[in-house]
Chain A
Amino acid sequence: MKPRAHRNHAHYWAFVLHRVSGLLLALFIPVHFYVLGMAIESATRLDGFLSWTNTPLVKLAETMLVVLLAAHLTGGLRLMALEFFGTRESSKTAVAIGTGIALVVGLTFLLNVR
């Protein structure tokens, strides 16, 4: 059975990436605020948390979040170009470039983070 073959194309996978990244970012935002809020009560509490994040696994997770944010940004810009300006040409190339930019941003984060 090949019931889902019609989904196997660049724009569908771009849609999946946009939806998954958007959902994960929406779930992450309250966590992000909670952690930053620690600094208001006591700087030592945030610093304690930040030292906990100083493991390769958490760094990798942070890199993932940066990639997701960048991917949602480039995906969103591509969708708005389509919706507002009706861009037609090189639509699949735009998917590839946007995903590439997101990976480059993630790599830049990974190279700079300590």
Chain B
Amino acid sequence: MPSAGIETKLWVWQRASAAVLGLCVIVHLILIIIAVQGGLSAGEIISRVSGNVAWLMFYSVFVIAVAVHAPIGVRTILNEMTGLKTSQTYLVMAVLCLVILSMGFRTVIGLYNAGGV
């Protein structure tokens, strides 16, 4: 079998993560509109997600999917619209992926453990 090029693999990863994000974003948008009714507060956010395994799972999947999806898209834009070399756009992709993963999981796990529950 011919081995698929790197662009094919990135395309598959981006579409697979997009399918996951399709569901996550619908849930997220509904939750945003419910949560902002009557104003948003730290206590409200913490009481919803802290100690709740279901939200922990949901946001973990969400963060992973974003960390796959967004850096691939950013790399495509850089390749097409800037003079950056391919090696440089790979670097930006990898850094963005790590930033989203580390900041995302710090937040998700932090909020799960917050509030002393």
A and B touch in the complex (CB under 8 A): yes
* Number of A-B residue pairs with CB-CB distance less than 8 Å in the complex they form: 94
Given contacts A37-B103, A114-B36, contact A69 B42 (CB under 8 A): no
Given contacts A43-B43, A112-B33, contact A34 B114 (CB under 8 A): no
Partner pick for B42 among A22, A46, A73, CB 8 A cutoff: A46
Mask of A54-91 contacts with B, CB within 8 angstroms, 1/0: 00000000000010011011001100100110000000
User: In the complex, what residue of chain A is closest to B43 when comparing beta carbons?
Assistant: A43
Main secondary structure of the interface of B (DSSP, over half): helix
Determine whether B26 belongs to the interface, using a CB cutoff of 8 Å to chain A: yes
A73 to B30, CA, bound (A): 13
Which 4 A-B residue pairs are closest in the complex by CB-CB distance?
A: A40-B110, A43-B42, A33-B103, A46-B42
B interface residues, Cβ below 8 angstroms from A: 15, 18-19, 21-22, 25-26, 28-29, 32-33, 36-43, 45-46, 66, 70-71, 73-74, 77, 96, 99-100, 103-104, 106-107, 110-111, 114
Given contacts A26-B74, A40-B114, 20 further A-B contacts (CB under 8 A): A23-B74, A29-B66, A29-B100, A29-B104, A33-B104, A34-B103, A37-B103, A37-B107, A38-B42, A39-B46, A39-B110, A40-B107, A40-B111, A66-B29, A66-B32, A72-B25, A73-B22, A76-B21, A80-B15, A109-B36
